[in-house]
Amino acid sequence: MNLTSIDTKQEEPAIMNQDATIVFNGFLQLPNLEKLAVVEAINDYFDSNDREPIRAAADERFSQIDTSSADFHCKCCGR
Reported as a single tens digit per residue, the pLDDT across 19-78 is: 999 999 999 999 999 999 999 999 999 999 999 999 999 999 999 999 999 999 988 888
25 contacts 76 by C-beta, under 8 angstroms: yes
Q: For 38-77, b where at least 16 C-beta lie within 10 A, e where not — what string? A: eeeeeeeeeeeeeeeebeeeeeeeeeeeeeeeeeeeeeee
Q: Grade residue 2 by pLDDT with cuts at 50, 70 and 90.
A: low
**Segments making up each domain of the chain, as ranges:** 31-64
- Pick from 79, 78, 76: nearest CA to 18: 76
Distance CA 61, CA 42 (A): 15
